[in-house]
Amino acid sequence: MFNKILTVCIGNICRSPSAERILMDLLPNKEISSAGIGALVDHGIEKHAAELLVNAGYNADDHNARQVNTDIINDADLILVMEKKHQHVLMQKFPSASGKIMLLGKWHNEEEIPDPYKKSQDVFNHTFVLIKKNAQAWADKIG
């Protein structure tokens, strides 16, 4: 069913790698990866996002941001995005994948995950809580 899960945000340095690492922990038998719509290619996880991951017991090492492309999209069984605009962009660019592109916040009233990049630590904290809550909801549904 959903064995290959892709998480997507803009830069692939804050939200999508955080969701990727949390889902990897929650769904150890699934293949989880991440990419960005406008990726900061080859960058690691942003330092505030990495600190939150590490402090919560997740691995933040060895991440290299990558640009979403046709091969990455086609390889995924499920694509989880952070915002509705990400969903629309991907559906326009990859129309054949429309049926597998969903919000990470689908199970919480289509909740969107705000971009914390270059914002306060409070915004990073809030974003992390939302990612964790919504990743758990997906794990409960497909685990």
- 15-69 residue pLDDT tens: 999 999 999 999 999 999 999 999 999 999 999 999 999 999 999 999 999 999 9
φ, ψ at 44 (rounded to 5°): -80, -175
Of 9, 14, 21, 66, the catalytic one is: 9
Spatial CB neighbours of 123, under 8 Å, sequence gap ≥ 6: 114, 116
Is residue 76 within 8 A of residue 2, CB to CB? The reply is: no
Is residue 77 within 8 A of residue 111, CB to CB? The reply is: no
Q: What is the pLDDT of residue 143?
A: 85
The band of 74, judged by pLDDT with boundaries at 50, 70 and 90, is very high
Q: What is the pLDDT of residue 43?
A: 98
CA dist 123 to 6, 26, 38, 64, 71, Å?
A: 24, 24, 21, 23, 33
Of 42, 77, 115, 140, the catalytic one is: 115
Whose structure tokens read 């990073």?
124
Across 75-123, the runs of DSSP E, i.e. the strands, are: 78-81, 101-103
Model confidence over 13-25: pLDDT tens digits? 999 999 999 999 9
Mean predicted confidence (pLDDT) in 133-139: 98
Of 14, 15, 21, 66, the catalytic one is: 15
Q: Is residue 9 helix, strand or coil?
A: strand
Instruction: Indicate whether 115 pLDDT > 90.
Output: yes
Give this prediction's pTM: 0.97
Q: Counting beta carbons within 10 angstroms of the beta carbon of residue 135, is it exposed (0 to 12), middle (13 to 18) or buried (19 or more)?
A: buried
Domain map of the chain by residue range?
A: 4-142
| CATH number belonging to domain 4-142 | 3.40.50.2300
End-to-end CA distance of the chain: 11
H or E stretch at 60: none
Calpha distance 62→96 (Å, rounded): 31
In the residue annotation, 115 being an active-site residue is answered as yes
